[in-house]
Structure 1
Amino acid sequence: MRAWRAYVIGSELLRKQLNRELQDRHGTTLADYEVLVRLSERDGRRMRMAALAAEVASSKSRLSHQITRLESAGLVQRVDCGDDARGVFAELTDKGMDRLRTTAPTHVAGVREHLIDLMTPEEHAVLAEVFERVQEHLGDLEA
């Protein structure tokens, strides 16, 4: 119970702090930052919407609304999928890439200060192993 409660409260406090730092300094939410990161890591800076939703642990509907907001800000654009008339890509624009370059140092510094620097290298490895296992388990349940 101690581990569970510490995880629930600690992870929520961490997300709130990281979100606050991004919003205060850049007007960007943590959720939007995560979308920009995922798109930046892909060839052509684009992903199918369904795959992107899975990667950021969001529903397709919630992601669609988020992409609409990001489109309005000029950070992302929707592109039809040529080989699938029903498929749609979310694509990071140059403005979105610039926003990511601007916000990344704030996010990285926050993650380091509020999590990474509080742990030993051994604890980093354990944390990664545990949550990779959780992702694999829950990913299997989604399939």
Structure 2
Amino acid sequence: MERDVQQEVDLPLTYYELLVLLSKNEHGSLRMSELAELTHTKPSRITHAVRKLTEAGFVERRHCETDRRSWFAVLTDQGREVLQRAGAPHVASLRENLLDLLTPEQHDQLLDISRTLLAHLAPADPLAREKTPTNEVRELRAEL
């Protein structure tokens, strides 16, 4: 799946996923600390990734007006274009390499297993409940 995204837009899958997270926010922006929480990644890795995305023109960094210590990553128009170009091939790859391999019953089992694991691994983390494999599979099913 990463190869499919890289072939389409020359972007690592993890960077693509950061762009997706930004695009799902109403203003196309998130605090850097929120990106780290959502991705369960160290802030230093997010800083590095956002720097690379900024150099590519896909993201801008902006100071938070209410807390000058905080930074926002903001999706640019060029970043939105990259998401549009990579979106269809990424969904097709997910379908081909994951969803099409499973029967409807197996989809349901996967959802149940995902819920159980996430409830155990992140019981108090509302961000983890927001973006679960369960919700992602539902979104993919809706797109298909």
Cα deviation code 1:84-129 (max 9, x no counterpart): 2211111100000000000011100000000001112222222123
Identity across matched positions, percent: 37
- Maintained 8 Å contact 2:8/2:85: no
Which stretches of structure 1, 4 residues or more, deviate above 3 A after TM superposition?
140-143
What's the offset of the Cα at 1:139?
A: 2.3
Instruction: Specify the code of the residue in structure 1 equivalent to 2:79.
Output: G
Match of 1:125 in 2: 108
Q: Secondary structure at the match of 2:41?
A: coil
Match of 2:91 in 1: 108
Cα deviation code 1:37-76 (max 9, x no counterpart): 0000001100111111121232111111000000000000
What's the offset of the Cα at 1:20?
A: 1.1
Please list every run of 5 or more consecutive structure 1 residues that lacks an aligned counterpart in the other structure: 1-17
Match of 1:58 in 2: 41
Cα root mean square deviation, aligned: 1.8
User: CA 1:140–1:41 in 2, change beyond 3 Å: closer, same or farther?
Assistant: same
Which residue of 62, 77, 85 corresponds with 2:68? 85
Match of 2:11 in 1: 28
Q: TM-score, normalised by structure 2?
A: 0.80
Aligned residues: 126
Match of 2:135 in 1: none
